[in-house]
Amino acid sequence: MSDDLLAQLKEMSTVVADTGDIETIRRYSPQDATTNPSLILQAAQQEGWRSRLADIARQSTDIDDALDAVAVEIGSEIAGLVPGYVSTEISARLSFDADASLARGRSLIERYARHGITSDRILIKVAATWEGIRAARQLEREGIRTNLTLLFSFAQAQACADAGVTLVSPFVGRILDWHKAQAPDTDFSGDKDPGVRSVRRIYEHFKGHGYRTIVMGASFRNIGEIQSLAGCDRLTISPALLGELSETHGRLERRLMPIDAETSAPEPQDEAEFRWAMNEDAMATEKLAEGIRKFTADQRKLEKLLGELRQDVSQAN
């Protein structure tokens, strides 16, 4: 076996590429790939996509139609390169609208079907708000698998497990960012990293209570965080950190071990309990809101790009 860290990590955890860049996915051969509005925007700005985006803009009925068409176009190409899941995110603007999130999730699956991609290959990414989790619960009941993102708290993770979602993506690096801003002189290295500790708590709780929801660490700031979570179900990793792992050699120690369920699951949270827990967690509340705003800002940039392409096509005709 190779002694580079990426090869060893693949023996312990399912490695997922956190990118929409096709060449990166070809290079590192991940099992799955995740996208979000920011990553779709990055991919769409690459020169090789411009003519295809122009075609999509010309054929779309409106900007929302174009946005989903772009996400599915990129996702379908990625699906031809990875054997596992491709995660595609619904609009961040729908984070507090369960019915609209449901409709958008169903629509994305229908679009993938027209590309020949079956629903078992796709994870619909939804922000882990109360409304997003309710929408995900219904999608799962309909056989549509979901990935709950922008997850910063144990309360969010518990609600997702209660809802029976396929996968959760707790954000390691953004949790660390918040704590470093609050206490810049504190040592958060290694096992003291609050993002790492959050994922470990979620992993051990899910496994110890027999939840089937997959835990996928996300939003890493350095390979040390990844090494500290070796053995987690899945880890979604940016191109830069995939490259660093592949170029770093040494022994990788498994840090998260398989756990047999010992106790039954606790009673599900109700809405009031969930909202109170979030209110009591300043970090989770602030980072969730910030994440939704950032994804929406990048979505607006993509909308502007597609709008310009629609206008160019219209003028050319």
Structure tokens at 144: 């549509």
Domains and their CATH numbers in the chain = 5-312 (3.20.20.70)
Q: Which of 46, 18, 285 is nearest to 125 (CA)?
A: 18
Q: How far apart are the C-alpha atoms of 117 and 75, rounded to whole Å?
A: 9
Contact partners, residue 279, CB within 8 Å, separation at least 6: 285
Q: Is the pLDDT of residue 314 over 70?
A: no
Under a CB-based contact definition with an 8 Å cutoff, are residues 262 and 208 in contact? yes
The enclosing H or E element of 111 equals helix 98-114
Q: How far apart are the C-alpha atoms of 70 and 26, rounded to whole Å?
A: 20
pTM exceeds 0.85, yes or no: yes
Q: How far apart are the C-alpha atoms of 245 and 228, rounded to whole Å?
A: 13
As beta bridge partners, residue 126 has 148
Structure tokens at 197: 């500790």
Catalytic residues: 125
Report in angstroms the alpha-carbon separations of 305 from 40, 232, 239, 268, 308: 12, 38, 24, 43, 5
Q: How far apart are the C-alpha atoms of 171 and 166, rounded to whole Å?
A: 17
Per-residue pLDDT, averaged over 125-153, amounts to 98
pLDDT tens column, 58-107:
888 888 898 999 999 999 999 999 999 999 999 999 999 999 999 999 99
pLDDT tens column, 15-66:
999 998 889 999 999 999 998 888 888 888 887 787 888 888 888 888 889 8
